[in-house]
């Protein structure tokens, strides 16, 4: 399992690192637009003071990955307790769903894990659900809790705000804070904003997948080393017990010969 996880980690890590520049640049573009546009131009840019909060919790379907799922579930539980309020949950992955069910947190939807190699089409049903619910006014804030891939040995539970989009302060330096849209703002935003939601979710899915295989590889490596140490200890104990039995039998034979 260590070698299998290592081979899958390489592909997952390459996909994650390759998608980061696109996702980060799209975040910057939308942050600039959110500073000068609002809900009048597109419903996904609207900001609400009141309403429910939705948390998208991304975990894995499988275990044997050390404390990976435990850490992200603990992070989500801490966030829910410290910011108590009217909130609901969408879970991705069986581990997060089972943990939140035991904690009796309301789950409005559940999606199975996106597999070993997530693709953008896998994210579309979740992105469509989130976009539709936000446009309908069901939620005022949507956050994603996932595991960010830092390195092979470091995976960190993290949370990012998906909606509403946080405005950028850099646009204040633009004269009039105006952008030129071609052909029209509504057409551009209709294409850009749904892709932004899908891209953010896709990036977090890639981060979680790479984190899972990294954590699993390290966990299986530690398990292998612990098993080797246990085998050595048991072999030594067996040899000692075997030698003690042989010595005892020799003493019994020698004692019986002397008694004759």
Which domains are seen in the chain, by residue range? 2-218 (3.40.1380.10)
**Contact call for residues 158 and 148 (beta carbons, < 8 A):** yes
Mean pLDDT within 49-55: 86
Residue of 260 and 67 predicted with greater confidence: 67
- Range with the lowest mean pLDDT among 33-42, 46-55, 56-65? 33-42
pLDDT at 38 over 50: yes
Stretch 13-35: mean pLDDT, rounded? Answer: 86
pLDDT one-digit tens code per residue, 200-244: 999 999 999 999 999 989 888 888 888 889 999 999 999 999 998
For residue 169, name the pLDDT band (cuts at 50, 70, 90).
low
Mean pLDDT taken over the chain: 86
Q: What pTM was estimated for this model as a whole?
A: 0.82
d(CA 58, CA 40): 32
Q: Are 28 and 166 in contact (CB under 8 A)?
A: no
Measured N-to-C along each axis, helices 120-135 and 185-259 cross at an angle, to the nearest 10 degrees, of 120
pLDDT score of 175 more than 50:
no
Q: Is 94 left (phi over 0), alpha (psi -120 to 50) or beta?
A: alpha
* More confident call, 96 vs 181: 96
Q: Which residues pair with 148 in a beta bridge?
A: 156
pLDDT computed for residue 129 by the predictor: 92
How does pLDDT run across 251-260, given as a tens digit for each residue? 888 887 777 6
- Characterize the bridge pairing of strands 107-111 and 52-58: unpaired
Task: For residue 249, count other CB atoms closer than 10 A to its CB.
Answer: 10
Token code pair at residue 3: 């070698």
Q: Is the peptide bond before 164 cis (omega within 30 degrees of 0)?
A: yes
- pLDDT band at 178, cuts 50/70/90? low
With beta carbons less than 8 A apart as the criterion, state whether 96 and 58 touch. yes
CA 136 – CA 157 distance, rounded (Å): 30
**What is the band of 8 on the pLDDT scale with cuts at 50, 70, 90?**
confident
pLDDT of residue 73 exceeding 80, the answer is yes
Q: What is the mean pLDDT of residues 170-197?
A: 72
Residue 48 has, within 13 A of its CA and on its CB side, a CA count of: 16
């Amino acid at each position: 399992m260590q070698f299998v996880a290592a081979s899958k980690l390489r592909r997952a890590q390459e996909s994650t690192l390759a998608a980061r520049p696109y996702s980060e640049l799209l975040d910057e573009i939308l942050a600039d637009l959110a500073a000068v546009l609002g809900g009048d131009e597109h419903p996904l840019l609207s900001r609400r003071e009141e309403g429910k909060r939705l948390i998208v919790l991304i975990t894995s379907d499988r275990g044997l990955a050390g404390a990976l799922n435990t850490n992200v579930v603990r992070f989500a539980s801490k966030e829910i307790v410290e910011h108590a309020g009217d909130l609901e949950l969408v879970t991705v992955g069986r581990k997060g769903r089972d943990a939140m069910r035991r904690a009796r947190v309301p789950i409005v939807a559940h999606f199975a894990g996106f597999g070993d190699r997530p693709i953008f089409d896998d994210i579309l049903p979740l992105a469509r659900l989130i976009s539709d619910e936000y446009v309908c006014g069901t939620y005022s804030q949507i956050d994603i809790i996932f595991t960010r891939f830092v390195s092979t040995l470091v995976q960190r539970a993290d949370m990012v705000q998906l909606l509403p989009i946080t405005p950028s302060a850099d646009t204040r330096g633009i004269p009039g804070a105006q952008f030129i849209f071609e052909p029209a703002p509504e057409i551009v935003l209709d294409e850009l904003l749904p892709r932004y939601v899908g891209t953010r979710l896709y990036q977090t899915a890639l981060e979680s997948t790479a984190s899972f295989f990294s954590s699993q590889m390290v966990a299986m490596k530690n398990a292998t080393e612990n098993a080797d140490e246990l085998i050595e200890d048991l072999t030594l104990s067996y040899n000692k017990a075997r030698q003690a039995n042989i010595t005892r039998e020799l003493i019994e034979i020698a004692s019986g010969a002397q008694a004759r």
